[in-house]
Amino acid sequence: MSARSILSAVNRETYDVIEIGITHDGAWLVGEKVLDSMLQGSSGLLSQATILPDPSQRAIFRIDPGRDKANIERLSDLDVVFPVLHGTFGEDGTLQGLLELADLAYVGAGVLGSSLGMDKGVFKDVMRAHGIPVVESIVLSRQEIQSEMEQCIQRGLQISQFPLFVKPANLGSSVGIMKCKSRADLMEGLADAARYDRRVIVERGIDAREIEVSVLGNENPIASIPGEILPSREFYSYEAKYIDDASRLLIPAPIPPQISERVQDLAIKAYKAIDCAGMARVDFLLEKTGADGVQPGQLYLNELNTIPGFTKISMYPKLWEASGIFYPELIDRLIELAIERKADRDRTERRYRTDE
């Protein structure tokens, strides 16, 4: 959905667009109307493709399998790659590493920013090191969960009493997340989260409002006005995000000006702390206090998404639209930032010579 939105809005008079599709099995495909073909199940009409990790070949190549050996044919040079890939292998630094080896400009964070943003456990450690408030948590390994479940439960209960949240460290879209209200829930949540990652986070559950802000830029990033998510379920689960279509977005978020400014300041601080670039959506938890349960309390940074949802109704572009940057211009800015970042990388000396 994000890719379709970008393809429908990108300026075809400015950009010559080449669609590259990736199957669930990891095959790269090119051809006419790749996205439509893949959605219609007619990808057999497409050709396999690849980008080589060779800086002298900044291009996309078509692969002809052949009977005896595969041949590759240069399909087109590439100026900028726009990864619209949420989660594993797209948002975690792996694709970014390939594009670095290929010496290509690309939209979004680099290897470091992508991997730190993806791993919620390490990300929280970096936030703590920078004095940015995050909810108390621990990281458990899949091996520990499978061999020492009782000890893992005890370690979780040392953080806080119930509720506790359990989530895979490296995933998104609330997949594998469970709000645990009992020991049985915690056991189930740990086992389920370990299906999706070898590292699992357990964190204190708080009654909170979900506040989000968009960030744009490289060395001097700017933050949008904040928005608020009103999830249709107990928390912003996968079902609440994508299935029941009942969650609501409030833009701007109905929060005091000083909290809004604090959200923007912390978002930019976190963005710089992990060396992010291009774009990110930064998500916060604003604790509810008071007898009525609506008074704002402690603000916690929850996570930073380096490739946020990018449909025309997604929070990232909608926050920028409310801040004065409309969808087509946002695409232009991100491409310009990618070129700017590549130019800065090119200034780095890769060889060292002494005078001797």
Tens-place pLDDT, residues 78-87: 999 999 999 8
Cα 84 to chain centroid distance, Å, stands at 10
Q: How far apart are CA 73 and CA 60, in angstroms?
A: 9
- State whether residue 223 is helix, strand or coil: strand
Q: What local confidence, expressed as pLDDT, does residue 92 receive?
A: 95
2, 309 contact by CB (below 8 A) = yes
Give the phi and the psi of residue 129 in degrees, each rounded to 5.
Answer: -65, -25
Q: How far apart are CA 93 and CA 71, in angstroms?
A: 28
Q: What local confidence, expressed as pLDDT, does residue 244 receive?
A: 55
Percent of the chain at pLDDT exceeding 90: 82
Using 50, 70 and 90 to split pLDDT, how confident is the model at 355? confident
Q: Which residues contact 333 (CB under 8 A, 6 or more apart)?
A: 216, 325
pLDDT tens-digit series, residues 109-129: 999 999 999 999 999 999 999
Could you tell me which CATH number the domain at 206-345 has? 3.30.470.20
Q: What local confidence, expressed as pLDDT, does residue 238 receive?
A: 56
Q: What angle do CA 314, 273, 224 make, to 5 degrees?
A: 35
Q: What local confidence, expressed as pLDDT, does residue 45 receive?
A: 86
Side chain identity at residue 93, one-letter code: G
338, 105 contact by CB (below 8 A) = yes
CATH homologous superfamily of 136-204: ATP-grasp fold, A domain (3.30.1490.20)
On the question of pLDDT at 104 being above 90, the answer is: yes
Return the domain boundaries, the chain: 19-77, 136-204, 206-345
- 17-53 burial, b for 16+ CB within 10 Å, e for fewer? eebbbbeeeeebbbbeebeebbeeeebeebbbbbbee
Q: What local confidence, expressed as pLDDT, does residue 340 receive?
A: 98
With CA atoms as reference, report the closest residue to 35 among 11, 14, 7, 61.
Answer: 7
Mean pLDDT of the chain: 93
87, 38 contact by CB (below 8 A) = no
pLDDT tens-digit series, residues 188-207: 999 999 999 999 999 999 99
On the question of pLDDT at 236 being above 70, the answer is: no
Q: How far apart are CA 107 and CA 335, in angstroms?
A: 6
Q: What local confidence, expressed as pLDDT, does residue 69 receive?
A: 81
Two structure tokens written together for 258: 């000083």
Question: On the CB side of 135, how many CA atoms lie within 13 Å of its CA?
Answer: 24
With CA atoms as reference, report the closest residue to 211 among 277, 163, 160, 256.
Answer: 256
Could you tell me the CA-to-CA distances from 249 to 2, 23, 230, 253, 313 in Å, in that order? Answer: 18, 31, 6, 9, 10
